[in-house]
Amino acid sequence: AQKITQTQPGMFVQEKEAVTLDCTYDTSDPSYGLFWYKQPSSGEMIFLIYQGSYDQQNATEGRYSLNFQKARKSANLVISASQLGDSAMYFCAMRPPYGGATNKLIFGTGTLLAVQP
Amino acid sequence: NAGVMQNPRHLVRRRGQEARLRCSPMKGHSHVYWYRQLPEEGLKFMVYLQKENIIDESGMPKERFSAEFPKEGPSILRIQQVVRGDSAAYFCASQSSTLPGNTIYFGEGSWLTVV
């Protein structure tokens, strides 16, 4: 069965520093997709970054990058130069193999990030 | 993200009443998903719909819950005879296609409180 694990319930980071949020996944399928979403206190789910299992390079989107280590089945999110507005809950999610009848996402339990001034 | 519109944002119902949550996907998106987020938990898949069809409802409770995505109009998640355990945030997401790399965008959620 597919599973996403986020082992850090909460983290602190100083403003302007970089922070890594951990995510490991478990799947026996060779093709899948990995997502990171941000959920601020207002509640909406904001898409941050996507990594396909066959992508050769790690995904980057502005200050967000995904440290994808396929052999270790990890997809850690790196936020560079943290800002106060980055304080939020962060969810890692996995999508099942390409070509499946559904693209339902499997979510981790989330990491609450607090950026300190 | 703002393209997926959900309403109402907040809904309060007494036990036994019905709750109807609406979702209009992003323009051009024909794939709609509903997820539920219980307090202090991640999102859990409920149902996947395309226009006029339920494709995957493996995450839906067997009773009291139903979903539709008619040819015209928004997708509706309907919860009959609500109980306190139904209190949660319900998120709708949409996608233009299921091709690899297609991002799934979420709405802002509907918070249901059952009193």
Q: What is the pLDDT of residues A29-66, one digit of tens each?
A: 888 889 999 999 988 899 999 998 988 899 999 999 99
Q: Is pLDDT above 60 for B63?
A: yes
Give me A87's structure tokens: 């304080």
**pLDDT tens digit sequence for B24-34:** 999 888 899 99
Q: Do B89 and A43 touch (CB under 8 A)?
A: yes
Exposed/middle/buried for residue B75 (C-beta within 10 Å: 0-12, 13-18, 19+): buried
Q: Which of B1, B44, B89 is facing A47, going by the closest CB pair?
A: B1
Our CA-based measurement puts residue B58 at a distance from the nearest CA of chain A, in whole angstroms, of: 10
> What pLDDT is recorded for position A99?
52
Q: Do A47 and B104 touch (CB under 8 A)?
A: yes
Q: Which of A44, A100, A107 is facing B108, going by the closest CB pair?
A: A44
**Interior angle at CA B44, CA A23 and CA A62, nearest 5:** 45
Collapse the DSSP code of A97 into the 3-class scheme (helix H, G, I; strand E, B; otherwise coil) and give the result.
coil
Choose, out of A3, A102, A106, the residue to mutate when testing the contact with B (most B CBs < 10 Å): A102
A53 CB-near residues (< 8 Å, 6+ apart): A30, A31, A32, A33, A34, A70
Region B3-12: mean pLDDT is: 94
Our CA-based measurement puts residue B74 at a distance from the nearest CA of chain A, in whole angstroms, of: 19
One-letter amino acid for residue A15 of the chain? E
Q: Is pLDDT above 60 for A3?
A: yes
Exposed/middle/buried for residue A30 (C-beta within 10 Å: 0-12, 13-18, 19+): exposed
